[in-house]
Amino acid sequence: MRNANVLISGASIAGTTLAFWLHRNGFTPTVVERAPAIREGGYKIDIRGTALAVVERMGVLDEIHRLRTDVRGASVVDRSGRRVASMDGDTFGGREHGDAEIMRGDLNRLLYDLTRDDVEYLFDDSISALTPLPDGVEVTFASGTRRRFDLVVGADGLHSNVRALAFGDEREFVRNLGYHVSIFSVPNHLDLDRWELTYVGPGRTALTYSTAHDEGAKAMFLFATGEERSDDRDHERQQQTLAAAYAGEGWEIPRLLAGMAEAPDFYFDSLSQVHMDTWSAGRVVLVGDAAYAASPASGQGTSLALVGAYVLAAELAAAGDHAAAFASYEARMRPFVERNQALGPANIKRMVLRSKGQVRLSMFMLGVLARMPGRERLLAKAMAPIQRAANAISLES
């Protein structure tokens, strides 16, 4: 088989799924992951629409449903903690029957376990240089090893290393939507039982939730910052920025923030998307967030990673020639990506409200909605765009 040896950078959703399908299609994938082991933990993510067919074809749909977060519902609270409006978990999450919400770490572990016997995984390493050869790519690893591969795939996320090496500085491709997001584990001091509470202040939203299979809870913060980039990866300074953004806020926010310094999994980043004119350069191609991050606000990043990996592997198997395969992968995926990326900026404006007036109006409307007969139908209608976008591609070419 041509293009048989494929190096994938990143052992998360896109990387492990691609490794599965390449192996299934007769290729020999190797995955290099910077972390010393598969990354567990994290936040809840959704698998919707066509992505469900991908995991079903991998034989893991039942296991995914077994691991689901089982979040029963969500409430919006005011400053004093009074529940202004509540709704069931699926309606709130824009999910239809069969869609699955699962912790990212659980999905990652499941996909890794599914592939670990058939795929070579190199942990605690990273690509430091890519040198094009007439019939392949010479890869130098940070560990000093050098190896030749037929193709190299960047599945290494929003701040992709392969994208930087093969396409250039991320400033050209990563677009901050004007917000930052932070999430980390906290003790479940509110005794939430598979429930989510959201507080909305002007320019800053905070929420906390508990899920099945987890005794603790998560605290998540979404706040407006403007579109300037921040490359500061220092946790202490990030935590100061976060605390300053929520200074003076009530509800449980001080208690939730108090947990950040001790949290083992503190995450802080801009809410960003990746936009590129092309996802391949020679024998290098990108998949998942590395190529087309849609931002956490879209709720569709995981589904894009699953579907993108499936389509890329299918096109490589069908075409034999990498250039033709990369072109068809892009032609099939781009309209799907664009529809799902469009959800990000639209959703974030509903999640973070700009002014006190907007917050007051929104609380009033939610209160009215909560008492309205047939409200679940109305809410489901409001969530319809995410379902249309999630189903806007077929796995058959």
Residues that bind ligand FAD (CB under 6 A): 9-15, 32-35, 39, 43, 45-46, 104, 126, 155-158, 161, 181, 183, 288-290, 296, 299-303, 305
Least gap, CB of 296 to ligand FAD (angstroms): 3
Instruction: Give the nearest distance from C-beta 288 to ligand FAD in angstroms.
Output: 2
CB closest to ligand FAD, residue no: 301
Q: Give me the least distance between CB of 305 and ligand FAD, in Å please.
A: 4
The packing angle between helices 104-115 and 13-24, to 10°, is 30
* 190 Cβ neighbours under 8 A, 6+ residues apart: 197, 208, 217, 252
In whole angstroms, the minimum distance from the beta carbon of 160 to ligand FAD comes to 7
Q: Which residue has the tokens 């709720």?
A: 299
Residue 292, amino acid:
Y
Residue closer to ligand FAD by CB (options 15, 203) is: 15
As a whole number of angstroms, the distance between CA 134 and CA 374 comes to 64
Which of 10/259 has CB closer to ligand FAD? Answer: 10
Residue 374 Cβ, how far from ligand FAD at the closest point, in Å? 27
| Residue 298 Cβ vs ligand FAD, minimum distance, rounded to whole Å | 7
Choose between 43 and 173: whose C-beta lies nearer to ligand FAD: 43
Burial (Cβ within 10 Å: 0-12, 13-18, ≥19) of residue 225: middle
What sign does the dihedral 389-391-395-396 (CA atoms) show? negative
Closest approach of ligand FAD to the CB of residue 39, in Å: 5
Cα(250)–Cα(142) distance, integer angstroms = 47
Q: Which is nearer to ligand FAD, 158 or 373 (CB)?
A: 158
Q: Write out the two tokens for 313.
A: 């592997």
CA distance 14 to 115: 13
- Which lies closer to ligand FAD via its Cβ, residue 34 or residue 375? 34
**Shortest separation between residue 82's beta carbon and ligand FAD, angstroms:** 26
CA distances to 251, 279, 323 from 285, rounded to whole Å, are: 46, 6, 10
Residue 22 forms beta bridges with which residues?
none
Rounded distance between C-alpha atoms, residue 119 and residue 115, angstroms = 6
Q: Which amino acid is at 159?
A: H
Q: Which residues contact 374 (CB under 8 A, 6 or more apart)?
A: none
CB closer to ligand FAD, 170 vs 289: 289
Taking the least distance from each CB to ligand FAD, the nearer of 39 and 147 is 39
* Nearer CB in complex with ligand FAD: 201/299: 299
